[in-house]
Structure 1
Amino acid sequence: MWRIEAREYARQERRRGRRFAFTELVPARTALVVIDMVPFFVSDNPYCRGIVPNIHRLAEALRAADGTVAWVLPAVGERTAVADEFFGPEAAEMYRTSGGTGPMTERLWRDFVVHADDLLVEKSAASAFFPGRCPLPDLLEQREIDTVLITGTVTNVCCESSARDASTLGYRVIMVADANAARRDRDHNATLHTVYRTFGDVRPTSDVLSMIGLLS
């Protein structure tokens, strides 16, 4: 169960006079960024499987409103001594190959379908927005995107890293609370607290659909 503490809502309301920084979005300038929804992370985690319908709803709504859907997969990186030292050789190799191999469309979780106008990219770092480690920022710039909806897994690792870096690059960041997943509620909510406090808004899927214009 996700939550933002009442005191954090109150703190932002005192600072800026409203609960949420971004009260509107322009769908054509908005991208749904879906992080690491691949079998390695999704298959054994009920939290990850639980967010699939919300990601699907957001993707369908944003496409219908002329927005962008961006699927981000882990790249198979180089084996490094630092990763071996940090994780241990066996775990380092497991994470290095977590995104799978073969065509990118076939490496996504089986319930997703990539459409012709969607973006499909790989990242070679935790963040999809770290300079030089993923083509996503350049592709979003070409589409004049100014708002990113962060979804996927794991909330407190790659999703949080992407939200932080997107904010640093000047994007309006909205982390979709019930379209991100971690392994434990407390890990998930710690990231929601951090993002809401410093890097962007935190909204449920229903709020974001209303902002896109699907719900009234």
Structure 2
Amino acid sequence: MKTEFYGPDAAEVFRTAGGTGPIAERIWPDLTVHPADLQVEKTAATAFFPGRCSLPDDLSARAIDTVLIAGTVTNVCCETSARDATTHGFRTIMVADANAARRDDEHNATLHTFYRSFGDVRSTEDVLDMIKASS
């Protein structure tokens, strides 16, 4: 990962940017993790590339058909994961105000393209309303 561009020292900084050790110990301390929650590590720009992350198989095994995309960077990892999730057959929603990019124009261009061609774009409030309505 990035070794050929930046060298092994910089590659290691990128690789360990999210911390090291068990995933449960690297999750934000104010986030409540329940025993049934799925925890996977993404090792590429997408969480849905075969062989790089178990997420597609894990979701399918749980009969999950809808994916919510939130995180950084909207126009890099978030967009890549969202497109790949759609390709895997998941109903995919990019949560507009739960994604971030370096610049608003990059963020908005990605959301526009995704909505026009791949899946849905909703606000957090809309998503929560949809979840409540389906419960």
Length-normalised TM-score, structure 1 = 0.57
- What SS does the aligned partner of 1:202 have? strand
Taking only aligned residues, the RMSD between alpha carbons, in angstroms, comes to 1.5
The one of 189, 200, 208 equivalent to 2:108 is 189
1:123-170 alpha-carbon deviations (Å, 9 max, x no partner): 221111111111111111111111111112221211111001001111
Query: Does 1:133 find its partner at 2:133?
Result: no
- What residue number does 2:63 align with? 144
- What SS does the aligned partner of 1:177 have? strand
Mapped partners of 1:99, 1:133: distance in 2: 16
Q: Percent identity?
A: 70
Instruction: Report the structure number with the largest CA radius of gyration.
Output: 1
Matches within 5 A, 1:82-101: 83-86=2-5, 88-89=6-7, 90-101=9-20
Query: Residues 182 and 91 of structure 1: is their aligned pair in 2 closer, same or farther, counting only changes over 3 Å?
Result: farther
1:96-123 alpha-carbon deviations (Å, 9 max, x no partner): 2222111211212232121111100112
The one of 21, 33, 38 equivalent to 1:102 is 21
- What residue number does 1:201 align with? 120
Would you say how many aligned residue pairs link Structure 1 and Structure 2?
132
Query: Does 1:164 find its partner at 2:74?
Result: no
Mapped partners of 2:57, 2:43: distance in 1: 15
Task: Kindly report structure 1 stretches of 4+ aligned residues shifted beyond 6 Å.
Answer: none
Query: Residues 191 and 97 of structure 1: is their aligned pair in 2 closer, same or farther, counting only changes over 3 Å?
Result: same
